[in-house]
Each structure stands twice: as C-alpha cells, then as structure tokens.
Amino acid sequence: MAKLEVVIFPDDRLRRKCRKIEKIDDSLKTLAEEMFEVMYQDDGVGLAAPQVGLDIRMVVIDIPKEDGSQGENKLVLINPEFTSVEGKVLSTEGCLSVPDYTAEIERYEKVTVKALDLEGKEQVYEADGLFAICLQHELEHLDGKLFIDHLSNIKRGILYKRYLKLKKEAQRAARNRENA
Ligand code: NI
C-alpha cells in the first residue's frame, strides 16, 4: 500500500458520506496502524478515514496523557454511532485537513458512542472533555462534514478561498520542481 497522506481542504474526498465497514480483517488492522502513524506525525489526537482519502467509517483516536504523551489511549472505532448526547460546551478546534487554523464552535459536553473494535466486538464509550469533543469532530468527518461547517457562511467562504489558493500554489510549486 502506498504511504498514506493527509487530504487537505478543499477536497471532494472530505465531503463524501462514508460507507459502513462490512468485514474486519488484517488489512483493516494494518490501515489503522498506518492512520495512527500519520496522526502522530502531525501531532493529532484523532483521524478519520476520509482524511487519508478512504470512504469507510473508521476513526482512530489517541487522547494524550496529562504530560502530553501519546500511545496509551489508542482507540479504533469502526462504524461508530452516537447513542446519547448531553449539554453544551464551547470548544476550540483544529483539524489536520485544515492546517494552521483553529476556531471556537459549540459542541455537546458529554456523548456516548457505540462502535466495533478491531476484534469486531461492540464497545460503548461514555465521554466528556477532550474525548467527547474529539468523538464529535471525527464522527462528523464520516458524514463529509468539517468543523468549519459550524462557522458562518461568510467565514467558511473566506477559508475556502484562502485554502484553495494555498493548494494551487502548492500544486504549481510541485509542477515547477518536476520540470526543473
Ligand atoms: Ni478533523
């Protein structure tokens, strides 16, 4: 498998509704490990499959410990669904697919999510704090939604133009390198 790369906004692959995973096998386990690698490289706490260009309902999450280290809270959620949500809280978020940008949006304070793990067993996660926010952020990715969709149309429009310009500049630079 080619090395995974993070898909950057704007990109249609971030806007697809992902399909349910029907079969959990070794290739999915390998994919999960590769997603963790990509996530750690970019200092993320969560990553959803569409962010590496795949339209399947899987996310990986690793909430850092108090000292900031990661590796002990690794979770893989397959076909995750909310079973309850509660309260409201303001959350400052960023996304590996929208680099160098954060915004404050409203989220549920507590959520319960059920999902299959890599063994195919159903797990239930009751979450608050960063874990709850992360679950909401990552699960939205599976339905083609980004955290910036919570902003006003005007703000999102400005972001779209800014990131499209950056993308075109990067593509031009890559072409120039090839032609050099
Ligand atoms: Ni994200």
Q: How confident is the model at residue 180 (pLDDT cuts 50, 70, 90)?
A: confident
> How many angstroms does the Cα of residue 176 sit away from the middle of ligand 1?
30
Q: Where are the domains of the chain?
A: 12-151
Active-site hit among 66, 126, 138, 140? 138
> How many angstroms does the Cα of residue 55 sit away from the middle of ligand 1?
14
Closest CA to 74 of 87, 65, 83, 84: 65
Q: Residue 141: exposed, middle, or buried by beta-carbon count in 10 A (0-12, 13-18, 19+)?
A: buried
Residue 3: what pLDDT?
84
- Tell me the pLDDT tens digit for each residue of 69-111: 999 999 999 999 999 999 999 999 999 999 999 999 999 999 9
Residue 1: what pLDDT?
53
> How many angstroms does the Cα of residue 12 sit away from the middle of ligand 1?
15
- Tell me the pLDDT tens digit for each residue of 127-172: 999 999 999 999 999 999 999 999 999 999 999 999 999 999 999 9
Q: Residue 103: exposed, middle, or buried by beta-carbon count in 10 A (0-12, 13-18, 19+)?
A: middle
Q: Can 138 be counted among the known catalytic residues?
A: yes
CATH of range 12-151; options 3.90.45.10, 3.40.50.720, 3.90.1150.10, 3.30.56.10: 3.90.45.10
Peptide bond connecting 99 to the previous residue in cis, omega within 30 degrees of 0? no
> How many angstroms does the Cα of residue 179 sit away from the middle of ligand 1?
34
Residue 50: what pLDDT?
98
pTM for this structure?
Answer: 0.95
> How many angstroms does the Cα of residue 106 sit away from the middle of ligand 1?
15
- Tell me the pLDDT tens digit for each residue of 46-70: 999 999 999 999 999 999 999 999 9
